[in-house]
Amino acid sequence: MDADTYEAAAGAYDLFAMSHRPAQEAALERLLPRLRPEAGPILDIGAGSGANTAALLERVPDAHVLALEPSRAMRALALSRIAGRPEWHERVTVLPDDFFSASLPARIGGAILTGVIGHFDPGERAAVLAELAARLPAGGGALLDLQHPERPRRVEPAEFTAAAIGGLSYRGIAEAWPIDTELMRWRVTYLCLEGERVLTEDTAEYLYRHPAPATVAREAGELGLRLAPLGDGTHWILERE
Ligand SMILES: C[S@@+](CC[C@H](N)C(=O)[O-])C[C@H]1O[C@@H](n2cnc3c(N)ncnc32)[C@H](O)[C@@H]1O
């Protein structure tokens, strides 16, 4: 993927992600018993603005986090969040690498992959799962989301979040087209408005894969990972058997 795809979203990423955040936090809470911080760092793959990295540092006091974030704009958000918490600085590393360029530790204590698995094609996805399977301890786990729709289809333009800060509002509008049995093309417009007057407008287009849960479960199963649903229709735990 082109890392700059995320420059538009990074303008106010946490505001645009606000509607997903409660479900993501609840899912992260369910991952905590599967983390093994004594085995190695927790990987946050495609850490974005660092919300999950920060939650881990807050909730798991003995964890070290290795956050991978190739987008300069998104990484800046994560680093700003971390900068304000000097007590975290020894426990977190933010690598400016994508998954396949990063030098990964031999063992990890868990992993988080939210909003990112669809950026990998099937061959890359198998390789990511294999790298996790090789590094997770028995009983350890990773959090994964499989974003809607479950099968590629046309998604008509829809507002996906709205926040008001002071006198301004922030809105995102997303639409998508199916490309094949797994791949979709998304167009997302990020707006900042004063009333109906548009102050900033940024549009990003990107390709994202929507593999069926059964497909990922089979791919993971071949590597000794079990894909267990968390029941919200979006989040799953990958467990190392
Ligand atoms: C939708 S954002 C999700 C951010 C965060 N994980 C969250 O859930 O809010 C996807 C992130 O994955 C990153 N990304 C895309 N391809 C990647 C790759 N090959 N390796 C690591 N990160 C990647 C992007 O730069 C972007 O910040």
Q: Measured over all CA atoms, what is the biggest interatomic distance in the chain, rounded to whole angstroms?
A: 55
Token reading at 238? 């990958």
48-67 pLDDT per residue, tens:
999 999 999 999 999 999 99
Please give the torsion angle defined by the CA atoms of residues 190, 164, 82 and 31, in that order, rounded to the nearest 10 degrees: -80
Q: What is the pLDDT of residue 162?
A: 82
- Minimum mean pLDDT range among 6-15, 69-78, 148-157, 171-180: 6-15
Q: Which residues contact 148 (CB under 8 A, 6 or more apart)?
A: 210, 233, 234
Closest approach atom of ligand 1 to CA 113: 6
pLDDT at residue number 161: 80
Contact (Cβ atoms closer than 8 angstroms) between residue 125 and residue 211: yes
Residues 218 and 198 reside in one and the same domain: no
Based on the fold, state whether residues 13 and 99 are members of the same structural domain. yes
Residue whose CA lies nearest to ligand 1 atom number 11: 46
CA gap 76, 88 in Å, rounded:
16
Whether 160 and 76 map to the same domain: the answer is: no
Pair (134, 53) in one structural domain: yes
* CATH at 179: 2.20.130
Q: What is the pLDDT of residues 102-151, one digit of tens each?
A: 999 999 999 999 999 999 999 999 999 999 999 999 999 999 999 999 99
Q: Output the residue whose Cα is nearest ligand 1's atom 1.
A: 115
Do both 143 and 163 map to the same domain?
Answer: no
pLDDT band at 2 (very low <50, low <70, confident <90, very high): low
Residues 141 and 174 in one domain: no
Residues 170 and 78 in one domain: no
197 phi, psi to nearest 5 deg: -85, 125
Q: C-alpha angle 130/36/40, rounded to 5°?
A: 65
Q: Using a 6 Å cutoff on CB, does residue 116 contact ligand 1?
A: yes
**Whether the CB of 114 sits within 6 Å of ligand 1:** yes
Average pLDDT over residues 185-209: 96
Rounded to the nearest 10°, the torsion over CA 23, 171, 80, 41 is: 30
- Among 2-11, 109-118, 162-171, 182-191, the minimum mean pLDDT is found in 2-11
CATH of the domain at 116: 3.40.50.150
Count how many domains the chain has. 2
H or E segment at 26?
helix 21-31
Task: Let me know whether 107 and 188 are in one domain.
Answer: no
Mean pLDDT along residues 147-167: 94
Quick one: 223 and 163 in the same domain?
no
Considering the chain, what percentage of its residues have pLDDT values greater than 90?
Answer: 93
Same structural domain for residues 204 and 220? Answer: no
Average pLDDT along the chain:
96
Q: Are residues 173 and 59 in the same domain?
A: no
Residue range(s) defining the domain that contains residue 217:
3-148+211-240
The average pLDDT across 67-72 equals 97
Give the model's pLDDT for residue 205.
Answer: 96
What is the model's pLDDT at position 1? 44
- Return the pLDDT at 151: 95
Question: How far apart are the C-alpha atoms of 207 and 199, rounded to whole Å?
Answer: 27
Q: Is the pLDDT of residue 45 over 90?
A: yes
Atom of ligand 1 at shortest distance to CA of 112?
Answer: 6
Residues 102 and 75 occupy one common structural domain = yes
Cα 56 to middle of ligand 1, angstroms:
17
